[in-house]
Chain A
Amino acid sequence: MKKLLNNVDQVVEDMLNGMAAAHSTYLRRLQNTTVLVRKQSPVNGKVGIVSGGGSGHEPAHGGFVGKGMLDAAVAGEVFTSPTPDQVFEAIKAVDGGKGVLLVIKNYTGDVMNFEMAAEMAEAEGINVQQVVVNDDVAVEDSSFTSGRRGIAGTVFVHKIAGAAAESGADLDEVKETAEKVIHHVKSMGMSLSPCIVPAAGTPGFELAENEMEIGTGIHGEPGVERTSILSSKETARLLFDKVQDDLHLQKGDRAAVLINGLGSTPLMEQYVFTSDVKEILDEHGIETADVIVGEWMTSLEMAGISLTLLKLTPDLEEKLFAEADTPAMKRFAK
């Protein structure tokens, strides 16, 4: 393992201090916690939005703390859900009197830890609601699994629910908006090389020089198939088809596209892939209202990419373009 760090046990701690130092105009770290909150928290009269999860997905989630997106991000250990006490601290810090929405990615651990935190907050009289993001179409949704995983589509939930909260909507409305995004957003990823959890020191899986894995999760969970390496065009088509199977975009529909580099995929390759995705969308007559390219929800040093499509309705589109000012995502009012 070759990584730039000091001590594997301190990596989250050190990273949080770095994020607080780099983004001090946006956020601050709650003392003795792994929570980053908006600099002026709580925002009175606004629904608070708290998200988080294991570390190793930066800029998610701390990078989305700021105006128009999250009020707090709770960091767990690498690829490990944060604990209930930490989530509870975040809820208390951002409750501005209108309640708090928890945005949870669908993993057994995350759901349980956030649920326990919600129970603790309710016991203190804070109104808490939660939504669970499950955009990854790679794994089947069935009553026999914990459902689909939450991946990069979560960023659209942060953005659009954040805009709803910023506009003064109440907790039920913000939750409804978040659920609408979740209903309309689908993603799928692939990987060219694995990632190494610092404390484990070895890759979670291996891929030969001429192999790629389709449908890999953002923690290196095995995907759906391993194939010999495909071109960007072929990969784009494969991921698009799988996403489209679920999303059923029609000719004339408007969509937002999020291309997400998983950690060590150069922007050059991300743009190559973006061009291929755009071509496919054009072929289908789907109007691309927005194309966002970059690293939004990474998987340490994994090489690979994920494709997220969000089917837009006029209200979702309006909120997607609403003003946001966070370290990782900025939107200026038109």
Chain B
Amino acid sequence: MDKQMAAEWLKRFAETVEKNKEELTKLDQAVGDGDHGINMNRGLQEVLRKMEEVPADSPGGVVKAAAMICISKVGGASGPLYGSALMKIASALGDEEDVEGKQLTKALRDGVDAIKKRGRAEEGEKTMVDVWEPAVQALEQGSSWQELTEIVKKARDNTIDMKATKGRAAYLGDRSIGHLDPGAVSSSYFFLELACVMEESS
């Protein structure tokens, strides 16, 4: 992955969130406080502006700039969670101009660990971790980008039947069952766009 690919990944992530922000809001109104689409879109639009104004010179630099913006512009729970994850990913990518798949996987592992630590969440709690963890595990086990796409979609849909025990949806208890988790959906965009960009370049 080079800096153009990293920028393209985050650009597509931002565009997908924008296109689906009403869907994300609707999902969040069902189980939370209805701000997930709005917050993510506000932060990611700022990421897009920043990438155009000050292009970074490495994939790590691109991700780091996005991390800072998520921390300062998104708010809610998703700001610190995506912010912490992107920050750790950026650190792991360093300032190398071209990043190998293995190093990217390692960086994503640091990202999901940061989310778990900041959110005190584990797998199976109907949160974004339920997409991040299976996605990263698949990459660690050598899945192709094509396979990742399927794994991510399945992981996202698996949150429908889960009962939330973390985040605001947890207050609904059993009533959280039957709904997609909004954080898992936005996380699926993150990985699907990554897979798409990587697939195209290979």
Binding site for B on A (CB under 8 A): 9, 54, 76-86, 107-109, 112-113, 116, 139-140, 144-146, 149, 197, 199-200, 202, 204-205, 217, 219-222
Give A193 Cβ to nearest chain B Cβ, in Å.
16
The residue of chain B having its C-beta at the shortest distance from the C-beta of A34 within the complex is: B75
Give B183 Cβ to nearest chain A Cβ, in Å.
10
Known: A145-B171, A221-B171. A83 touches B73 (CB 8 A): yes
Give B148 Cβ to nearest chain A Cβ, in Å.
28
Contacts of B79 in A (CB 8 A): 81, 83, 109, 113
CA distance A112 to B84 in the complex (A): 10
Contact of A204 with B175 in the complex, beta carbons under 8 Å? no
Cβ-Cβ contact count across A and B, 8 Å cutoff: 100
Does B72 have its Cβ within 8 Å of any Cβ on chain A? yes
Give B104 Cβ to nearest chain A Cβ, in Å.
25
CA distance A145 to B74 in the complex (A): 23
Interface CB pairs A-B, < 8 A, 17? A77-B42, A80-B38, A81-B75, A84-B72, A85-B72, A109-B79, A113-B75, A113-B79, A113-B80, A116-B84, A145-B165, A146-B166, A199-B35, A200-B29, A200-B35, A221-B32, A222-B171
Known: A77-B35, A83-B79, A200-B34. A205 touches B29 (CB 8 A): yes
- Picked from A79, A113, A139, the residue with its CB within 8 Å of the CB of B33 is A79
Contact of B170 with A222 in the complex, beta carbons under 8 Å? no
Give A123 Cβ to nearest chain B Cβ, in Å.
14
Contact of B171 with A76 in the complex, beta carbons under 8 Å? no
- Picked from B38, B167, B170, the residue with its CB within 8 Å of the CB of A200 is B38
**Chain B interface: which size bin?**
20 to 34
Does B107 have its Cβ within 8 Å of any Cβ on chain A? no
CA distance A238 to B119 in the complex (A): 34
Give A300 Cβ to nearest chain B Cβ, in Å.
12
- Picked from B34, B75, B165, B168, the residue with its CB within 8 Å of the CB of A197 is B34
Contacts of A220 in B (CB 8 A): 33-34
CA distance A200 to B39 in the complex (A): 11
CA distance A116 to B74 in the complex (A): 14
The residue of chain A having its C-beta at the shortest distance from the C-beta of B171 within the complex is: A139
Contacts of A76 in B (CB 8 A): 75-76
CA distance A79 to B33 in the complex (A): 8
B28-49 Cβ-contact flags toward A at 8 Å (1 or 0): 0100111100110010000000
Contact of A85 with B71 in the complex, beta carbons under 8 Å? yes
